[in-house]
Amino acid sequence: MKVLHVSPLAFGSRGGGGVVGGGERYPIELARAMAALVETRFMTYGAARDERDGALAVRSYAPVAYVGTKKLGPVHPALALEIARADVVHCHQLHTFLADQCVVLARLLRKPVFLTDHAGGDRHFNHRLGTVNRATGLLLVSHFNARGFAAHAPKIRVIHGGVDTERFRASGVARRRAALYVGRLIPYKSVHSLIEAVDDETEVRIAGEGYHDEYERHLGKVARGKNVHFMGAIHGQALVDVYSAAGVSVLPSVETDLYGKHYPKSEILGLALLEAMACETPVVCSAIGGMPELVVNGTTGIVVPPNDGTALGAAVEGLLDDPAHARRLGEAGRAHVLERFTWTHVARRCLDAYRDLAGGR
């Protein structure tokens, strides 16, 4: 089996032409894991490059045009050639013109084509072209995500997400009495609610790149007079060390941000939770989206109601004040990840779905 993964944006810093987000990290991590099992190519868009990432062949094309305004609908004639050489096509970011292209071309070339939603969207023609109806299957990252596609239930498989547990593991650095947030600095992540919820002297470490100028300014105001450290974007071993040093890792996302904008799919999964748990760091998250499917409340972390600063603060401070309990939750979190949420688990679930839904091809 030759599998082609197609993603509209490369993972990486904005300076390098990519985006540091779950919707960009997920496809490349999955493709890497799948390459250890079957022949796999990863196609994305941006600066032109052709390289190997271990067993994975990676090809990036400079688009000749975009449909939409968020660079999620790139156009390049090489897509047809890439699909022609594959046995299975797996396109990431469903509500985009890229997904429309993948389904039309794959069907013309008689190739099974699968779609994964990462909650992103741009201009598309899904309804007009029957993109979802014509796809072979929908491989979705959570049961929460699947509820939005209930009309297509027979072709849905929930594959969840994963983490590289060889890379993400406790690195031996000393734990700090510190709460950690890892992710983009955008309003629905509600990073400000973490800062506001904890005591003024409690250390809050924020590792992430800003994608919303007004919200960054707001975070600066909220942090004044408190023990908050903005660390910027962190990658590689430094990120593992940051997770390993934290007393608790927090993802306090909401569905309606402080500006009143509603995000019905703000957190369809939550890869940062899996990364923290893999590093034996207990987690606290909001009870929204797919996050409660990853965190076993009271066993691998704590799930709190969204927009409840009192509950959020109590959960965070409670874990910071009880390192023994935090350690137990952290150890249970890594065991939970190893049992179900490695990228190899996700890749195997995908391969099973390809064979099942494509009729044994």
74-83 pLDDT per residue, tens: 999 999 999 9
The pLDDT assigned to 10 comes to 86
Over range 47-55, report the average pLDDT.
95
Please report, for residues 167, 204, 226, 314, 353, the alpha-carbon distance to residue 175 in angstroms, rounded to integers and kept in the order given. 18, 13, 20, 20, 40
pLDDT digits (tens, 9 = 90+) for 126-183: 999 999 999 999 999 999 999 999 999 999 999 999 999 999 999 999 999 999 999 9
Contact yes or no for 347/38 (Cβ under 8 A): no
- The dihedral built from the CA positions of residue 270, 182, 317 and 277, taken in this order, carries a sign that is positive
11 pLDDT above the threshold of 90? no
- For the entire predicted model, the pTM comes to 0.93
pLDDT digits (tens, 9 = 90+) for 89-102: 999 999 999 999 99
The pLDDT assigned to 20 comes to 61
Q: What is the CA angle 144-147-153, rounded to 5?
A: 125
Sheet containing strand 49-53, edge to edge, reads 49-53, 56-61, 39-45, 2-6, 88-92, 113-116, 137-140, 156-158
43 pLDDT above the threshold of 70? yes
Chain mean position to CA 181: 15
pLDDT digits (tens, 9 = 90+) for 272-319: 999 999 999 999 999 999 999 999 999 999 999 999 999 999 999 999
CB atoms within 10 A of CB 344: 15
Contact yes or no for 337/165 (Cβ under 8 A): yes
> 157 is written with which tokens?
């498989």
19 pLDDT above the threshold of 70? no
In the chain the domains, ranked by start, together with CATH numbers, are 2-162+342-357 (3.40.50.2000), 178-340 (3.40.50.2000)
In angstroms, the CA 252 to CA 197 distance is: 10
In angstroms, the CA 70 to CA 118 distance is: 14
Q: What are phi and psi of 206, to 5 degrees?
A: -120, 110
The pLDDT assigned to 349 comes to 98
DSSP 3-state of 248 = strand
The pLDDT assigned to 158 comes to 98
In angstroms, the CA 11 to CA 236 distance is: 13
The pLDDT assigned to 298 comes to 97
pLDDT tier, 361 (very low <50, low <70, confident <90, very high otherwise): very low
**Of residues 342, 287, 24, the one with CA closest to residue 166:** 342
pLDDT digits (tens, 9 = 90+) for 207-262: 999 989 999 999 999 999 999 999 999 989 999 999 999 999 999 999 999 999 99
Contact yes or no for 164/356 (Cβ under 8 A): no
